[in-house]
């Protein structure tokens, strides 16, 4: 779901409430945090906080979405108040070339606009439904690049497990249109490397510590149960261009 679709979803939910109806989307809607003024908006999660149980617990999801992601959005809006161009450019364009961002706010943009983009990607990749394993073109590419799905998953788990401190592990289409596994620090995105993500997993402690404490490997193993491979296939198609 992109930002525009997210806004449509909110608009639709508000309309349904106004009409006195309780649609499925409203039944799933969370109590959204207050939306900040500014061009960046916190997208709704699209499913219940508890939807990814037992793999990711509801409290982690609520804090992660409503506080951590919301903080990146709030900070991005404060940066947009200082440099209005930020709110006018497509977010992927900003993150693909941070050299265009003024020096004084570049680190803030990297961390907070990056954090907003990474988390939106992450929420959309996870689902209580959807395909449970890769198929079609994506499966063929995974098999040819890594020798199989399990081998690819092992590489992502190693990249996430090996990330010192905070960051992300990604399956990407690199700038040569080949599948690769990479890790980025903090809220750095694959976009500035010229890579487009197919899937990505947040390995910041806030993503798993309440349930898994220091056992990041156990979180990574469980996380695969939340991946919607239909969404990963769509990401792959977009990334291949
Ligand atoms: Mn996070």
Q: Where are the domains of the chain?
A: 136-240
Q: From the CA of 81, how far away is ligand 1's center (Å)?
A: 24
Contact criterion met (CB below 8 Å) for 69 and 202: no
pLDDT for 76 beyond 70: yes
Model pLDDT for residues 173-228, shown as the tens digit of each residue: 999 999 999 999 999 999 999 999 999 999 999 999 999 999 999 999 999 999 99
Model pLDDT for residues 148-157, shown as the tens digit of each residue: 999 999 999 9
Q: From the CA of 16, how far away is ligand 1's center (Å)?
A: 31
Q: From the CA of 86, how far away is ligand 1's center (Å)?
A: 22
Position 68 confidence tier, pLDDT thresholds 50, 70, 90: very high
Q: From the CA of 202, how far away is ligand 1's center (Å)?
A: 6
Position 129 confidence tier, pLDDT thresholds 50, 70, 90: confident
Q: From the CA of 26, how far away is ligand 1's center (Å)?
A: 25
Look at residues 226, 239, 241, 113 and name the one whose alpha carbon lies nearest to residue 171. 239
pTM, two decimal places: 0.85
Q: From the CA of 216, how far away is ligand 1's center (Å)?
A: 14
Q: From the CA of 166, how far away is ligand 1's center (Å)?
A: 9
Q: From the CA of 79, how far away is ligand 1's center (Å)?
A: 20
Q: From the CA of 15, how far away is ligand 1's center (Å)?
A: 31
Q: From the CA of 140, how far away is ligand 1's center (Å)?
A: 30
Question: Which architecture characterizes domain 136-240 according to CATH?
Answer: 3-Layer(bab) Sandwich (3.55)
Q: How confident is the model at residue 117, as a pLDDT?
A: 98
Q: From the CA of 240, how far away is ligand 1's center (Å)?
A: 26
Q: How confident is the model at residue 36, as a pLDDT?
A: 61
């Amino acid at each position: 779901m992109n930002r525009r679709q997210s806004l449509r979803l909110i608009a639709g939910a508000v309309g349904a409430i106004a009409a006195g109806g309780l649609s499925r989307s409203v039944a799933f809607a969370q109590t959204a945090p207050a939306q900040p003024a500014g061009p960046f908006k916190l997208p709704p999660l699209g499913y219940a906080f508890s939807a990814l149980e037992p793999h990711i617990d509801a409290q982690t999801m609520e804090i992660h979405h409503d506080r951590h992601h919301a903080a990146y959005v709030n900070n991005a809006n404060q940066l947009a108040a200082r440099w209005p161009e930020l709110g006018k450019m497509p977010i992927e364009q900003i993150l693909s070339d941070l050299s265009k961002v003024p020096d004084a706010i570049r680190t803030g943009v990297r961390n907070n606009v990056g954090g907003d983009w990474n988390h939106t990607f992450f929420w959309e990749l996870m689902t209580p439904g959807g395909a449970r394993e890769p198929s079609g073109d994506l499966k063929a590419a995974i098999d040819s690049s890594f020798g199989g799905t399990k081998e690819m998953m092992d590489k992502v788990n190693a990249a996430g497990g090996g990330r010192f401190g905070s960051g992300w592990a990604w399956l990407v289409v690199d700038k040569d249109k080949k599948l690769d596994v990479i890790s980025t620090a903090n809220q750095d995105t694959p976009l500035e490397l010229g890579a487009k993500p197919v899937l990505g997993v947040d390995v910041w402690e806030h993503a798993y510590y309440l349930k898994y404490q220091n056992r990041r490997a156990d979180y990574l193993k469980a996380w695969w149960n939340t991946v919607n491979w239909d969404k990963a296939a769509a990401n792959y198609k977009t990334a291949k261009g």
